[in-house]
Structures are given as structure tokens and as C-alpha cells.
Amino acid sequence: MCGIIGYIGKEKAAPILVKGLKNLEYRGYDSAGFSTIDNGTLLIAKDTGKLNEIELKININELHGCVGISHCRWATHGNVTQENAHPHTDCTGRISIVHNGIIENFSELKEMLIAKNHKFSSSTDTEVISHLIEEYYTGNLPEAVRKALKEVEGSYALGVLSADEPDIIVAARNESPLIIGKGKNAMFIASDVPAILEHTNEIIYLDDKEIAVLTKSNFRVFDLDGREKKKEIKKISWSMEDAEKGGYEHFMLKEIYEQPRAIEDTINGRLKNGTINIKEELGMDENSLKKISKIIIVACGTSWHSALVGEFMLEELAKIPVEVEYASEFRYRNPIVDADTLVIGISQSGETADTIAAMKEAKRRGAHVISICNVMGSSITRISDAVLYTRAGPEIGVASTKAFTTQLAVLYLLTMHFAKLKNTLTEKQLQSMAQGIRKIPLQMQAVLEKDAETEELAHLYHKSTNALYLGRGANFPIALEGALKMKEVSYIHAEGYPAAEMKHGPIALIDKNMPVVFVAPYDTYTYKKILGNIEEVKARGGIVIAIATEGDREVAKKAGHVIYIPDSLYTLSSMLSVIPLQLLAYHTAKKLGKDVDKPRSLAKSVTVE
């Protein structure tokens, strides 16, 4: 949560910061602010609201200077007010900082600083850092930041300026993402790549407890004891076009439509002539892999839903027992993990604090820990023994869409790998799995072509105040995901349930105003039972919307509305059935006039506990 960008170079900093910050707004959008240095004076402008509102309130042109830092906020400590917006300054007004993270010992530090006569002007945890730096400042900013951070407990990505040292930006990170970008005659700091992609694709990933000192032509990195560290410059392959809307009205819609391409990219090179090829990426020898007796998947939100589909695939086809855990719960329990347990962290951003903590805990307990992640070099990838990347490209919309289906693709490939290794499927079955996933991009395209049907449903039902989503097997998680998408972007109360659970309670909610979405592609186990559940809803006057397999006439006879998806292997059907639900949420939110890409109270990556 919260986005940071900093610039030092030859051009005026403020316009670069504004533009970059717009690409980070998915991380927080309740307030924003800027600080630059002009002729030895520290300038600050900040306010509440989204960036385009703030641009009308403050005059960015008045922020002169070729060095600056800026911040978009997602409030954790302190209300959404101008005072609490970043940057924050020290008592002299000559040091400014932007911060993403949470300072856990801020109360103690604040008390100590107040006793030393420091005057606070906000109720944030962040402000203690600027006063702490002031306490240690004797004309050497990197040194003062280093000493201050030695006293700080918690997570931080920091950008710091001092009017007395206008030729440097000092940056630091601990458990919150921060990268350095090396441009032409300019250096950047940012929370995420899209903020600076327009200027450079040469990225340096800061590690925990590292401090960086940037000039306009160089950077140096130190640990908290002042020892210099060597850092590698990585070239990333995302283009600016990848991170822009490309003619779509919203990122969410663009990203829904990018799914066929994203799946294609994700499976490319990993399936050769029907043979699965992820051995090297997994980085484990065959014997250790064969010994794995249990898999635990830790994740949050949408990634947790993909884990549930993964559980279905891995147990059904590779016959490995799988437990799916909310990362936030796993870390505070006493999980049973040993050297034969494989722990998989799934995360789009690779920066979700709970998932990071759960993976660290699993490692501490001796498990082999791998991740499925979309962002190269993110924190989660750096604590993993191996990473299977989803190749979805940058996902900017707060509601996760293409990351979800690419996670499913990777889980499917992983299932094939284990099934082959453990001999749980024949060569013929594996070939058929490979053919099945190869067809998915085209089949997704076919589902996307039915967008008008979901738009029509949104038109009919966007005024509903509640909705139920029901599914079974590999499509129960899709019911959860469909409901989550609807809640997130339209603020309509929606719940996902296993279809058979309906009769144990939720059935009491059903009346003529309740849309019930059945995710009911054909399968050999539960399809008939779902037809029964549809009858039960109809008998109570509920509105039945079904997602069914092309050609299914039974469902058409019973449901009020059917959206058909192409026939596929059942384990792959979730990759198709989720698309109409993503579109339904999108169109509903749009009809209700909601801010689809920046839903209230949410942030793209939840980097706090």
C-alpha cells in the first residue's frame, strides 16, 4: 500500500513525479504529495483525494527543482487529511520523507522525540522518521538516515531529501518494495516498475535493510552498518505499452481481454511436443520432488482462490495431499511442516505482507518453499527456493483478473509435472492435458466474444443489493472468485458457496430479488447435483444465471440466463468459467458509476499486515 517515486536528474522533477505516480495510484489513492528542492529551499505540496483531483488543488508548476520525491497514500495510521498526507518534514522543514510501510515502535519513538521538543504536525507513524533523522543530522544525510533506521522497527520503503544536500536522494527498504531505476542522466526510486518504465528498464532491486544514495548519474547501496554492497542491474522486458490502457476504458477490462495472450505466454516454452518442461525452473532434483508427501499453498484473496483450484488439480491428478491456507492465518498457527513438505506461495505482486511472512515461517520450519508470482524480482521471489513466473505482464487494475488465470495455468503445469514424476497419469493422459491447455487461449477468446451477454446481465441486475455464487469441485473457487470480483468493484454484497452448502443456510436468503449465479460446466461427478440445486433456487423464485458448457440443453431448460463456455477438460474449465464472472462484475460496477480500477478502500498490493 502507498506508492513512492523519486527523481534526480537534469529535468524538472515535478512533472516526472506526477506522471510516474499516476502509474502507482493502484497502490493507494486517498491522498498524494510532492517535495522538491529549489535553490536550497525544500518545497512541499500535498492534499487529499485522487491525483487528478489533487492536480486541481495544488499548482504543480510551482514545484521547481530537478530533484524530488512523491507519494500516493493508502491510510494506515491517521485519517485521510492533508496533514497526514506525505511527504512529512522535520521541525526545521529542511528534511522531507515519503514512506510506505508501518513503523511498529512509532509510539515509543514519538514519546521520546516529543520529550526532546520535536513538534509533530500529523498523526502518522511516518513522521517519527523525519524527526529521528533530524535528531541525527549533522550535514550527512545518508549517515543520519542510517542511524535513524537502526532505531526503527517495522516495514519501510523510504525516500528522503534534505535541502542542505540537494544533489542526493537517500532511499531505504525493509519489508516494503523499493526499486532503483538507472536512467540516462537520471536516477529514480519507485515502489514498482510501471512508475519509471517510461524512463528506464534498468532496475536495481533493493533488499531488506539496505540504504541507497542516488545522485543524478550514480547510485551506491549500503547495509545498515554502512558497509557498501554490490548490486546487480537487471533489464526487465515489460514495455510501456504493457503498462498502459491501450485504448480500453479501464485497466480491468484491458486485463480481462489480455487473458488469451497471457496464458499463451505462460505456457510457452514450458510444454514441448506435449512434454512438460519446468524441471529447471523448479530447481529441485527428481528424488527430492518424488519424496514430497504434502503440499501447502499459502496465499491471499484471489491468489488464495487459485490455490483452491490448484488443490483440486494436484489431488485429483497427481494424487498429492494439498492444504490451502490463508497466509495470514498460517503464519500465526503452529503448522506441521517438514523437509518433505513443499510450500507454495502464490502472489501476483510478490509483495503481499502476509504471504511473505507465511513463506518465511515455512522456510524457518524446514520446508522447501517455491512461489508462483507475476513480478520479477519482487520480495516473494527473492525468498523462494524457486519461482514459477506467471507471464501475465503488469496487472494494474486493483481487481485481479489475468494474474488469476495465469496462476491456474502454472498450477496446471505443475500438476502435470508431478503426475509424470509420480506416475499417476499415463503418457496418453498427459498428452491430452497438454492438448487441453493449448486450446485454452482460443477458447478464452470465444468466451470474450460473448461480452455483450454479460453486459446485458449487468444491465438487468445491477440494482440488486445481494448475489449468491454457487459452484462445485474445481468451480467452487470460481464461485468465490466471482463473488469477490463483484464485491470489490461494484460494492454489491455477494457470497460464494459450494452449491450443496446452499441448503444448509443461504437458501433462506433466496427470493425473487436474488440473482444466483451457478458455475456449472459439465463434469462427471457433480453436474447432476447442480441441476438439482438450480431447481431448488427456482422453486423459491430466485433469478438463475448459469455458466454452462456449450451445448448443454438441460441447464438451458432450467436457468433464466445461460452463458456458454467451450467444452474443455474439467480441470481447465475454471479458466474459462471465471471470465464471464469477471466481465459481469466489471459491467455492473461501470453501470453503477464506480471507479473500477480504484475501488474504495482497496490497494493493489497489501504490503501491511
The answer to whether 577 and 470 have CB atoms below 8 angstroms apart is no
The three cell numbers locating residue 176: 516494503
Report the C-alpha gap between 124 and 88 in whole angstroms: 9
**Number of amino acids touching ligand M6R (CB under 6 A):** 16
353 has which bridge partners?
none
- The number of residues making up the chain comes to 609
Report the C-alpha gap between 310 and 322 in whole angstroms: 9
- Give, in degrees to the nearest 5, the angle at Cα 451 between 305 and 557: 85
Nearer to ligand M6R, 206 or 399 (CB): 399
Q: How far is the CB of 328 from ligand M6R (least distance, A)?
A: 10
Q: How far is the CB of 26 from ligand M6R (least distance, A)?
A: 10
List binders of ligand M6R among 326-355 (CB under 6 A).
347-349, 352, 355
Catalytic residue among 22, 558, 594, 604: 604
The three cell numbers locating residue 583: 466481465
Question: Residue 132 contacts by C-beta under 8 Å, 6 or more apart in sequence?
Answer: 109, 113, 148, 151, 152
Q: How far is the CB of 586 from ligand M6R (least distance, A)?
A: 12
The span of 186-194, 295-303, 519-527, 540-548 binding ligand M6R (CB under 6 A) equals 295-303
Active site (annotated) includes residue 528: no
Give the residue at shortest CB distance from ligand M6R: 301
Q: How far is the CB of 24 from ligand M6R (least distance, A)?
A: 15
Q: Any contact of residue 605 with ligand M6R (CB under 6 A)?
A: yes
List binders of ligand M6R among 381-410 (CB under 6 A).
398-400
DSSP one-letter string for 458-523: HHHHTT-SEEEEEE-GGGHHHHHHHHHHHHHHH--EEEEEEGGGGGGTGGGG-STT-EEEEEE---
Q: Any contact of residue 260 with ligand M6R (CB under 6 A)?
A: no
Q: How far is the CB of 401 from ligand M6R (least distance, A)?
A: 8
Nearer to ligand M6R, 186 or 346 (CB): 346
Q: Any contact of residue 191 with ligand M6R (CB under 6 A)?
A: no
Nearer to ligand M6R, 4 or 419 (CB): 4
Nearer to ligand M6R, 170 or 585 (CB): 585
Catalytic residue among 2, 66, 72, 373: 2
The span of 66-74, 124-132, 174-182, 599-607 binding ligand M6R (CB under 6 A) equals 599-607
The answer to whether 490 and 589 have CB atoms below 8 angstroms apart is yes
Report the C-alpha gap between 570 and 297 in whole angstroms: 21
Q: Which H or E run contains 118?
A: none
Q: How far is the CB of 372 from ligand M6R (least distance, A)?
A: 9
Please pick, from the candidates 90, 127, 488, 523, the single residue that binds ligand M6R as defined by CB under 6 A: 488
The answer to whether 129 and 153 have CB atoms below 8 angstroms apart is no
Other CB atoms within 10 Å distance of the CB of residue 559: 24
Nearer to ligand M6R, 38 or 354 (CB): 354
Please pick, from the candidates 302, 454, 526, 533, the single residue that binds ligand M6R as defined by CB under 6 A: 302
Q: Any contact of residue 301 with ligand M6R (CB under 6 A)?
A: yes
Active site (annotated) includes residue 2: yes
Report the C-alpha gap between 519 and 383 in whole angstroms: 36
Nearer to ligand M6R, 70 or 349 (CB): 349
Nearer to ligand M6R, 182 or 598 (CB): 598
Which of 501-505's residues contact partners 24+ apart within 8 Å by CB, and which partners? 502/468, 502/470, 502/533, 502/536, 502/537, 503/536
Residue among 193, 188, 240, 246 at smallest CA distance from 217: 188
Nearer to ligand M6R, 86 or 402 (CB): 402
Other CB atoms within 10 Å distance of the CB of residue 576: 24
Q: How far is the CB of 212 from ligand M6R (least distance, A)?
A: 24
280: phi then psi, degrees, rounded to nearest 5: -65, -40
Q: How far is the CB of 341 from ligand M6R (least distance, A)?
A: 21
Q: Any contact of residue 300 with ligand M6R (CB under 6 A)?
A: yes
Catalog residues that contact ligand M6R under the rule CB under 6 A: 300-303, 347-349, 352, 355, 398-400, 488, 602, 605-606
Could you list the active site residues? 2, 604
